[in-house]
């Protein structure tokens, strides 16, 4: 890896909290924790804005740390703005993508597969094939089984949410 190649990985963990509001009605809130894998910095959140701010701060700092010291402030600012362009696009679509994945995980997997297929040529040009190790059939089967289990759990969750919605609509 060259001195200008940097990686930022984030782990998101979501927890659903069911509770009664002040009026005694059932309510739900999603909370979570985001971890920056490289330095293990963590932040609890209940709003996606906090996740976006955390990631943007880490990515900005990564870019600033990699900028050559002898550049002018204006040049540094230009590099930082360019670095954040892709992040801005992701930040706009990510919250909707998460909600859509919870509502209909199969549709989201299908959409992701279509995006990968449409960009396969571009990706293959970027991959360094010498270091590529194909995924084993057993790994693919295990992943497929886990996705199926997750899909079933999300379906059950959706049924529970629908049941709560119906109860709230009646009251």
For residue range 69-94, list pLDDT tens digits in order. 777 778 777 777 777 666 666 666 66
- In 3-state terms, what secondary structure has residue 147? helix
pLDDT band at 53, cuts 50/70/90? Answer: confident
Q: Which residue has the tokens 């940097």?
A: 6
Tell me how far the alpha carbon of residue 55 is from its chain's centroid: 10
Q: What is the mean pLDDT of residues 86-107?
A: 65
Q: Is the dihedral of CA 74, 77, 83, 89 positive or negative?
A: negative
CA distance 28 to 110: 28
- Give the mean pLDDT of the chain: 76
Supply the pLDDT for residue 1: 37
Indicate the pTM of the whole model.
0.46
pLDDT at 123 over 90: no
Is residue 31 within 8 Å of residue 40, measured between CB atoms? no
One-letter-per-residue 3-state SS of the chain:
CCCCCCCCCEEEEEEEEEEECCCCCEEEEEEEEEEECCCCEEEEECCHHHHHHHHHHHHHHHHHHHCCCCCCHHHHHHHHHHHHHHHHHHHHHHHHHHHHHHHCHHHHHHHHHHHHHHCHHHHHHHCCHHHCCCCCHHHHHHHHHHHHHHHHHHHHHHHHHHHHHHHHHHC
Supply the pLDDT for residue 27: 83
């Amino acid at each position: 890896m060259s001195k200008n190649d940097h990686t930022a990985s984030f782990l998101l963990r979501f927890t659903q909290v069911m509770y009664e509001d002040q009026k005694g009605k059932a309510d739900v809130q999603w909370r979570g924790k985001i971890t920056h894998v490289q330095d293990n910095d963590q932040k609890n959140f209940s709003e996606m804005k906090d996740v976006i701010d955390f990631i943007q701060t880490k990515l900005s700092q990564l870019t600033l740390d990699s900028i050559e010291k002898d550049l002018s402030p204006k040049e540094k600012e230009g590099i930082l703005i360019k670095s954040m362009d892709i992040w801005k696009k992701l930040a706009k679509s990510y919250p909707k993508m998460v909600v859509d994945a919870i509502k209909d995980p199969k549709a989201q997997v299908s959409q992701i597969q279509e995006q990968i297929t449409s960009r396969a040529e571009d990706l293959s040009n970027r991959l360094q094939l010498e270091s590529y190790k194909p995924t084993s059939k057993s790994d693919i089967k295990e992943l497929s089984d886990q996705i199926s289990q997750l899909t079933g759990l999300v379906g059950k969750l959706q049924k529970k949410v629908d049941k709560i919605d119906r109860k709230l609509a009646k009251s």
